[in-house]
Amino acid sequence: MAMIEDYRSALRAGQRAYRACVARGQSPYLAVLDDILNGVNIVAQEPLGLVDIPAESIVGTKTSGRHTAFAANFMPLLEEDTEFAIKWSNLCEAHLEEGIHTPIIAYEYLNKFYVQEGNKRVSVLKYYEAVTIPGTVTRLVPARNDTLENKIYYEFLDFYKLSKINNVQFSRLSRLSGEERRRGDFCVQTVSRSLLGVFRESVVKRLKLSGQVVIPLRFVVFRKEFCLFREKFVSSFRLQGNADRFLHLS
């Protein structure tokens, strides 16, 4: 019965998100990757293996099947007397008793993630405000083009090759040359509010960052195994920067 109460709470959250999207003239359901990729030239599919996916970066589903069972925020939309509601509630109970350990299967496109298997697991974990969700991920790489979004994404790919970090969002193009990016210099202007976790040693020494406040600093440059902050490091943050200015380590 308690799990049904959780479902009712999640259903209300889904209904609120549904109404908000309709009021804005947006689709009230999960984004469907197959629809997004219609007419897109995908030049590579890269298996990334098992990764911790930032929950806020999981934005949709791979196919259109059952996508209308969820609001755009992954909260459920089907009534509580359905088989869907029972399965969702059972997952809640499993999560509270022993945790949900089975990774989802997802695709990454432009640093957003779309679920192939595990939509209800994502829904339950988002309901309980999970920061990351384990998943086996395949990256879909679009052909290069002249759009700003595409150029920013290719800068992110350069960064990912060095760091294996997927919870950093590049907000605009840097002024760095291709050679500077390849050797590991990046200007990171916007970082997810979620827990960043432990950065890989290939980029920075093991720093654990967390929280939701702003670090009072101008910019950050990652270079090889180091990360230099101008201001005193605080435990919670959003990084903000000026792409025209950089700090470098000699």
The confidence score (pLDDT) of residue 159 equals 79
The confidence score (pLDDT) of residue 243 equals 29
Plot region of 206 (φ>0 → left; ψ -120 to 50 → alpha; else → beta): beta
pTM of the model: 0.73
Region 110-117: mean pLDDT is 95
How much is the mean pLDDT over the chain?
75
**Nearest Cα to 51, choosing from 129, 90, 118, 107?**
107
The confidence score (pLDDT) of residue 174 equals 62
The confidence score (pLDDT) of residue 2 equals 62
Between the two ends of the chain, the Cα-to-Cα distance in Å is 62
pLDDT tens digits for range 31-74: 999 999 999 999 999 999 999 999 999 999 999 888 899 999 99
The residue among 227 and 93 whose pLDDT is bigger is 93
CA distance 173 to 157: 13
Helix (H, G, I), strand (E, B) or coil at 123: helix
Tokens of 168: 């950093």
CA distance 37 to 112: 13
Tokens of 184: 């590991």
pLDDT tens digits for range 202-238: 333 323 333 322 222 223 333 332 343 333 333 333 3
